[in-house]
Structure 1
């Protein structure tokens, strides 16, 4: 099964949705702002992405500044908790297929796992 973590207000996320529709295989869409990921799901996602929490945090969001997430002494667990509590911080779009995942910036990252 293919899963798209999607924000319909994001043009890159809409592009990823269109790409998956063109791909022709079934997929599910999760609007992660309406259905936030919990810490366990974020950890699983990071394993599939082969990235750290810091790699998937959107550092231009106001929450990033408000929570002072630029502090290099924050632990992985603290960053994951911040993402779970403030889902806008999660980079988008993200596509999961089986045990692999990709951030769709650029869309070629998604194509590579399909």
Structure 2
């Protein structure tokens, strides 16, 4: 199950939500302004982010700027409390499941939420017998040769 952290008026959040719906992905949406984030939940988000706080904290947000603090000078405990009081400092959307963690909306990165078995099945289905192979198969071959 995917947890989608969103906020009202966020265009990237709407895109992510629509992508999940269009791809029949089951998700639970959590509006960060109407749902009080629990301490354990924030800790979990921080633990899952590859680069720590920098991945999920928007240092350009007004709420963060008003703190007049350097992110590196804030303890984890204090940061958790700041997030609970000012959820707008979180980057959005945040999408998380058992194996993937995606922040922001990116057409390529969001596909990490698709289970590996389904991605593999899609790759196997793309072969010369597919009616669309002349288009997508060529593009796949081109992308593989560029790497």
TM-score normalised over the length of structure 2: 0.68
Q: Could you tell me which residue of structure 2 aligns to residue 89 of structure 1?
A: 89
> Number of residue pairs matched?
114
The superposition leaves residues 34-70 of structure 1 with CA deviations (integer Å, 9 ceiling, x where unpaired) of 1031221111112223332243111222211221232
The superposition leaves residues 11-35 of structure 1 with CA deviations (integer Å, 9 ceiling, x where unpaired) of 1111101110111122111111110
Q: Could you tell me which residue of structure 2 aligns to residue 80 of structure 1?
A: 80
CA distance in structure 2 between the aligned counterparts of 1:19 and 1:108, rounded to whole angstroms:
12
Structure 2 unmatched runs, 5+:
115-147
CA distance in structure 1 between the aligned counterparts of 2:44 and 2:71, rounded to whole angstroms:
24
Higher relative contact order (CA 8 A, sep 6+): 1
Structure exhibiting the larger radius of gyration computed from Cα positions: 2
CA distance in structure 2 between the aligned counterparts of 1:45 and 1:56, rounded to whole angstroms:
8
Structure having the higher strand fraction is: 1
Q: Could you tell me which residue of structure 1 aligns to residue 44 of structure 2?
A: 44
Moved over 4 A (4+): none
**1:69–1:79 Cα contact (<8 Å) kept:** no
Q: Could you tell me which residue of structure 2 aligns to residue 33 of structure 1?
A: 33
Structure having the higher helix fraction is: 2
